[in-house]
């Protein structure tokens, strides 16, 4: 799951080397935290949040096929 999300995010941004996706196990789901360079935040969020919502939906569908739950969060960094 992490590899899929990381691949999609790296394909969208201008600085793919600064993309990191961390996976954390929560109570009953896996949380994927995406960190990107400041200027790329807008590319990942998209107009009205469409891109990040599409990434979340894609990850949830892929996880459901494996019988697990996943949540995708975009972590805001200090540099802009």
pLDDT of 79 over the 80 cut: no
Of the candidates 78, 58, 80, which has an alpha carbon nearest to the alpha carbon of residue 70?
58
H helix or E strand, kind and range, residue 73: strand 70-75
User: What is residue 1's predicted lDDT score, i.e. its pLDDT?
Assistant: 87
User: What is residue 36's predicted lDDT score, i.e. its pLDDT?
Assistant: 94
Encode pLDDT of 10-29 as tens digits.
999 999 999 999 999 988 89
Q: Each residue of 47-60: b (16+ CB within 10 Å) or e?
A: eeeebbeebbeebb
Domain boundaries, the chain: 2-75
In CATH terms, 2-75 corresponds, of 3.20.19.10, 3.30.300.20, 3.20.20.70, 1.10.340.70, to: 3.30.300.20
Q: What is the mean pLDDT of the chain?
A: 92
> pTM of the full predicted structure?
0.89
Per-residue pLDDT band at 78 (split at 50, 70, 90) = low
Asked if 73 contacts 31 with a C-beta cutoff of 8 angstroms, the reply is yes
């Amino acid at each position: 799951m992490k590899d899929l999300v990381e691949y999609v995010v790296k394909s969208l941004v201008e600085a793919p080397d600064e993309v990191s996706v961390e996976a954390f196990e929560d109570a009953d789901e896996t949380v994927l935290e995406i960190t990107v360079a400041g200027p790329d935040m807008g590319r990942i969020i998209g107009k009205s949040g469409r891109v990040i919502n599409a990434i979340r939906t894609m990850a949830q569908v892929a996880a459901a096929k494996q019988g697990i739950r996943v949540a995708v969060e975009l972590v805001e960094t200090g540099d802009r």
